[in-house]
A and B are shown apart, each in its own frame.
Chain A
Amino acid sequence: MQRIGVFICWCGSNISATVDVVKVAEAMKNEPGVVYSANYQYMCSENGQQLIKQAIKEHNLTGIVVGACSPRMHEATFRKTAEAAGLNPYMVEIANIREHCSWIHKDMDEATEKAIILVRTAIAKVKLNAPLMAGESPVIKRALVIGGGIAGIQAALDIADAGFEVDIVEKNATIGGRMAQLDKTFPTLDCSACILTPKMVDCAQHEKIDILTYSEVEDVKGFVGNFSVKIRRKARYVDESKCTGCKVCMEKCPSKKGLNAFNMNLNTRPAIYIPFAQAIPNVAVIDPEQCIKLKTGKCGICQKFCGVGAIDYEQKDTFVERQYGAIVVATGYKPIDLDAFNEYGYNDNKDVVTSLELERLMNAAGPTNGVLLRPSDGKHPKVITFIQCVGSRDSSGCGKPYCSKICCMYTAKHAMLIREKYPDTEVHVFYIDVRTPGKNYDEFFRRAVEQYGVDYIKGMVGKVYNENGKLMVQGSNLIDNEQVTIESDLVVLAAAIEPEPSVRKVATLLTASIDTNNFLTESHAKLRPVESPTAGVYLAGVCQGPKDIPETVSQASACAAKVIGLLVKDKLKTNPCVATPDESMCNGCSQCANVCAYGAITYVDKEFRIGGGKTEVRRVASVNPAVCQGCGACTVTCPSGAMDLKGFSSKQIMSEVEAICKK
């Protein structure tokens, strides 16, 4: 006979203000199987837990239901409470009468009625609960970092410094990411490369870090502590172990018309190239789309001139398969495509550039060797107009609904640097709002306005058009309530940033969730901001949301702390709520294995009695409980209902449905 205890929490006034907790607790006393029902102000407090423990012992409870907040908050707490009182922790059910009830209702009677139904539903379920025991699984003490930008670099360095092996997988030919493309960094105006490249070198020299550039994650299997990852090493047509980075091949290559992506396509590079001077590894790569030899079979000049015989036109993509305990996603961002913003004339005018292009135009290693010259005629621009929020905070559907967060600061930086270096240049900035919270950030912006005399105009730009070689920027000045047209030589667009598109594939492989803007979702917006809801997967940098370098680095270090905390363990407790097949009903049809994202299901041939003293051998599913994550995909796919989930059996779910529908 079941002896169920019910504990209704007030959560201060969080629940009790909308739900009559006394009435709920009283009503539960009449539910079949319930032998004890109480309410208390804070069930999660020491005293509240004591109340539960006492009741379990005094009333010999076989199961308990706590009507309180979301199980994501305190399910673990109450399981421990039950365990301390000698009850199996999986004989605890939470009825969420806060998030699912009190917080979303205003009417007390309605909310109370709903709370009663929710608690009754949990009672229906707990009656069918069975004691479960958690198993253990080993932890592979190696981490994978996907993305070799500043986020990935920082996370890798911190994890490696704690003594764990780390692999960085970077899809480009070098690590460094976006930060390597930046000229100066706000708010201190130190040179981006000067602070980034030492960290890149640290990575390369670290004995615990293995850098796999020009590589992509191809497949991920397994689970927290035990991931198995297949990595595609794209053919670079250059033997990484031989190339010395002497660049002779770059000089000799006859195909020099490739767009230089590192310089935002503002100049060209040879078909065989090293992305930039401080690239790591300092190894050339051949662009197969551009290489004459690879396209036509004729040429081979680089091979002839390579002193160490590093060129290999026959190279093919290879695959490596490695095991990891934890994975950090740091796939970064890209500026959005501006095709939907014809009004700014980006596609029609060479002198309308994005801010990232301006970074390259101002950088000493850029196409103009750091002299600010406009792309169309190579002349010094005398009037420069910046347009902020191009595609950010855009509810029209053309751009992004969110604030890209970094644009206000880098635009102030650009304006200031230009006024510093070329004091005869007039600089205008169109803005909707200037948002500069952060240490020394607002001071930085004010310096641009007050000390450097940058003309900030509050208002949006309607259009940019070319008139007699001048870029006419037509916008409104909301402060003076007038329309203005600024004759400019160069227009700089602060294009919104979006997650690097490859993140979708990565998220899919990792079964990590992603939001409508393709940002990876954190487990809890406030309390678990660097963890993905998928155990063992952590998020660093812009892949999780727009952020600047200091925030990215902090988040990367936070990720590292989480990864270290995981890898330092020898074993992990596994979730006992796993799938298990009823072999007598299993058809062996393989549908469950097809949908299993974790590869937890295999098949075995087993002998079954079929009556009349006879037996037959049937193929039946077998679940590896250490690998199963309890997602339940198999249980709903199984046509015969042979597959069931411990702790969430079909029978339990159906009894919950019945309890809800019961009048």
Chain B
Amino acid sequence: MKEVELKMKERAKALLESGEVARVVGWKKGDFCFDPSPATFETVDELNEFVYDYFCGANLSKYLIQIAKKEGKTAVFLKPCDTYSFNQLVKEHRIDREKIYVIAVECLAKLDIEKIKAAGVSVVTGVEVVDKDVNVSSPYGNVTLYKPDVVLTKCATCNKTHQVKDEEIILHQRPAREVDRFAEVVKLENMTPDERFAFWREQLSKCIRCNACRNVCPACSCVKCVFDNPNSGIAAKANDDKFEEQLFHVIRAFHVSGRCTDCGECSRVCPQNIPLHLLNRKFIKDIDTNYGEYQAGETSEGKTPLTSYTESDIEPNDAVNGEAK
């Protein structure tokens, strides 16, 4: 990953120096080794802070909505999963494709600091990944963890590939693998309605309405969210105690249905660890079942199953929802 970071930095420098782009969007160092954050670099000096490592899980595509409005071209580093969000945003005319230079970068799955800490390493000063070993340095002794145990939830079932690139920096190919991203959804489907309700009530009651899921979600890109609009008729209800349990996340899942690329950012940023991505995946699974396989963000053009009608569309009574009767 160090080599990749070096190459990325080199390219960013070259692009900025040549004036080809006015800025580069990437990640910069945080206070600790495990908290890099998305950042815009406008000068070569600023690139000193540039970082790309196993903690750069953040999806950069949503930042481009605002950044692309600025003068000049913007270069951005996109991981495979980010490119789907990027395409979807281009499709919804939220980003002007012409103004973005996309550099596809390798991913190899990102690490979840929460999982590392949960594995018993309370203070982390450095991390090195060698194949499937995650060597964590800590003042209390170094620990080696098994990588699949400590990757981000969204990375565990990821099989995404770069859908868009103007150039690429890929030194290591991710080995091909079989993943079943719907296994968790099927588990929920197999519950009785009461069990499922209890599950979600328990999960959603943890919600503190910090709005992190909404703010990070590339599909939640509205100029003004319905929840912030007093005229929508639902904003006031957001103050209701039961609201976040029963409606906020469900309405949000409906709003992003058919547009959610399954980037998994909602669950990654949730401070309460609510598995929000499962709501979206249920929609994705149902769309796949009822309208044929569809992956939002695979292209930046074409029709989407929920906003187009074809004669072969399933009739409401024939729809399969995969749930136990």
Contact = CB atoms under 8 A, between A and B. Distances in A.
Given A585-B222, A618-B223, A640-B222, A590 B93 contact: yes
B262 to A, nearest CB: 18
Given A587-B92, A595-B307, 14 more contacts: A504-B311, A585-B223, A585-B224, A587-B222, A587-B223, A588-B94, A590-B93, A594-B304, A594-B308, A597-B309, A616-B69, A639-B226, A641-B232, A651-B233
A618 B93 CA distance: 10
Interface residues of B, number: 24
A508 interface: yes
Considering the complex of A and B, which 6 residue pairs feature the smallest CB-CB distances, nearest first? A654-B233, A640-B222, A589-B92, A594-B307, A585-B224, A641-B226
Interface in B238-279: 255-256
A603 B91 CA distance: 14
B285 to A, nearest CB: 21
B311 A591 contact: no
DSSP class of A's interface residues: helix, strand, loop or mixed? Answer: mixed
Interface string A489-509: 000000000000000110010
B307 A591 contact: yes
Interface string A623-645: 00000000000000101111000
Nearest to B254: A639
B229 A585 contact: yes
B187 interface: no
Given A504-B311, A587-B94, A640 B226 contact: yes
Contact of A640 (B93, B224, B311): B224
Contacts of B303: 594
B304 A590 contact: no
Nearest to B308: A594
Contact of B225 (A590, A591, A595, A640): A640
Interface of A: 504-505, 508, 584-591, 594-595, 597, 603, 616, 618-619, 637, 639-642, 650-651, 653-655
B231 interface: yes
Nearest to A617: B69
Nearest to A653: B233
Nearest to A588: B93
Contacts of A618: 223
Interface of B: 69, 91-94, 221-226, 229, 231-234, 255-256, 303-304, 307-309, 311
Contacts of B229: 585, 640-641
A509 to B, nearest CB: 10
Contacts of B223: 584-587, 618, 640, 642
Nearest to B91: A590
A584 B222 contact: no
A504 B69 CA distance: 46
24 contacts: A508-B309, A584-B223, A585-B222, A586-B223, A587-B221, A587-B223, A588-B93, A589-B92, A589-B93, A589-B94, A591-B92, A594-B303, A594-B308, A597-B309, A618-B223, A637-B307, A639-B255, A640-B222, A640-B223, A640-B224, A640-B225, A641-B231, A642-B224, A653-B233
Contacts of A655: 233
B224 A584 contact: yes
B261 to A, nearest CB: 15
Nearest to B230: A651
Nearest to A583: B223
Nearest to B221: A587
B27 to A, nearest CB: 27
Nearest to A589: B92
Contacts of B69: 616
A424 B80 CA distance: 84
A30 to B, nearest CB: 25
Nearest to A585: B224
Contact of B92 (A590, A595, A654): A590
A367 to B, nearest CB: 36
B222 A619 contact: no
A626 to B, nearest CB: 23
A132 B136 CA distance: 69
